[in-house]
Amino acid sequence: MPGRAAPAPTAPAPPPPTSGVRGGFDGYALVGTALALRGTPYRNGGTDPKSGFDCSGFTQYVFAQYGIALPRDVHDQFQKGKSIKPQDVAPGDLIFFATTEKGPSHVGIAVGSDEFVHAPSSTGVVRVERLGSSYWAPRFVGAKRVN
């Protein structure tokens, strides 16, 4: 209509924040999935929440929920992804420990704030622990970012 000004163009919306979002998946969402499995029983060779998990079955299952295929074995999972310095570990990174032999023999998922979630055989259920604890800190062998 004559006499009416055209509406002013609007600026495009800013992109959503990317903290925690890496390579197509959200590390915080992945951690949320892992934390929801707390209390699931440990089972040697276990790969699902109904029958239980061992450590690598747990990480394999959680990552699969985000379309990321991990190998079944801890040693093979350690070969995947990019090595991360301890100070650069972010939620969703894999954390590896030497518990039963030299080199990686246990794996968990970084939560943040010096915590990780894993399926330890010692207590029998998926749980959260501190990386800096007197048990885990000396056994730390590396961290990997898989995405």
Contact criterion met (CB below 8 Å) for 107 and 94: yes
- Indicate whether 18 pLDDT > 50: no
Q: Which of 34, 54, 116, 118 is catalytic?
A: 118
CATH, residue 96: 3.90.1720.10
The answer to whether 106 is a known catalytic residue is yes
Q: Which of 55, 107, 111, 117 is catalytic?
A: 55
- Indicate whether 3 pLDDT > 60: no
User: Would residue 120 count as lying in a domain?
Assistant: yes
pTM: 0.83
Q: Which of 30, 56, 106, 115 is catalytic?
A: 106
pLDDT digits (tens, 9 = 90+) for 36-49: 999 999 999 999 99
Residues spanned by the domain of 35: 23-145
User: Would residue 4 count as lying in a domain?
Assistant: no
pLDDT digits (tens, 9 = 90+) for 89-98: 999 999 999 9
The answer to whether 75 is a known catalytic residue is no
User: Would residue 128 count as lying in a domain?
Assistant: yes
pLDDT for 147: 79
Closest CA to 74 of 41, 43, 97, 46: 97
pLDDT for 12: 37
In the chain, how many domains are there?
1
